[in-house]
Amino acid sequence: MEYPRPLAQLITQLQKLPTIGQKTAQRLAFFMLKLPETETAQIAAAIAEVKQLLSYCNVCGAITDANPCHICTNLRRDRQVICVVEESDDLWAIERTNGYKGLYHVLGGVLSPLDGIGPDELRIDSLFQRLNDVKEIILATNLTTEGQATALYLTQHLENFDITVSRIAHGIPFGGDLEYIDEVTLAKALEGRREV
């Protein structure tokens, strides 16, 4: 004899999520069984709605509940700077620093020829269509082979425009210990050294 069908179903569904194996799925399912029905209904609704209510901003490509998104329509932001990121979570991470007041452009991934992802699969054309009045493009793709290749590709294609292209700094993170830092980061930190 196995679990009642709806419970077995829930355990199976929860195991689709990352870092949730069978034991964790069981524990979560048992916990939900003990919650009041209003609580489980809220959790279920939140999961269902996250895909129903969110879409991609037509301008910058960020995941948003308004279109164009709140950043693209915010007139107090600096429209002369666009920060290019891979995904919406990168955008939110930068927003949390409260240190950037320009606009964004979300590529939706990185160039990765082996996975069949070329410039046409990313939101690169729509970036080039936004360059009127733009003075600076900040490339904030990640420090991976693909992220670097994507930054290089964009740099080359932006050369023809009268725009400053910059790359976010890579180096030793706050609290990082030289001894334990990987060599790519360390090389970047040396390369990006600044006179004091």
Residues that bind a second copy (CB under 8 A): 1, 3-7, 9-10, 12-14, 16-19, 24, 26-33, 35, 37, 39-54, 63-66, 69-71, 88-89, 92, 95
Nearer to a second copy, 64 or 150 (CB): 64
CB of 158 to a second copy, least distance (A): 26
CB of 140 to a second copy, least distance (A): 16
Helices (H), 21-174: 22-34, 37-52, 88-96, 125-128, 145-158
Helices (H), 35-136: 37-52, 88-96, 125-128
Nearer to a second copy, 70 or 115 (CB): 70
CB of 173 to a second copy, least distance (A): 17
CB of 20 to a second copy, least distance (A): 8
- Alpha-carbon distance of 93 to 97, in angstroms, equals 7
DSSP 173: P
Strand partners, 63: 56
Judged by DSSP in three states, 112 sits in: strand
CB of 38 to a second copy, least distance (A): 9
Nearer to a second copy, 8 or 187 (CB): 8
Q: What are phi and psi of 126, to 5 degrees?
A: -65, -25
Say if CB 107 and CB 122 are below 8 A apart. yes
Selection from 60, 59, 71 nearest residue 100 by Cα: 71
CB of 82 to a second copy, least distance (A): 16
Nearer to a second copy, 24 or 155 (CB): 24
Q: Quick one: tokens of 92?
A: 């939110």
- Alpha-carbon distance of 78 to 170, in angstroms, equals 24
Nearer to a second copy, 30 or 161 (CB): 30
Nearer to a second copy, 42 or 166 (CB): 42
Residue that is written with structure tokens 């034991």 in the block:
23
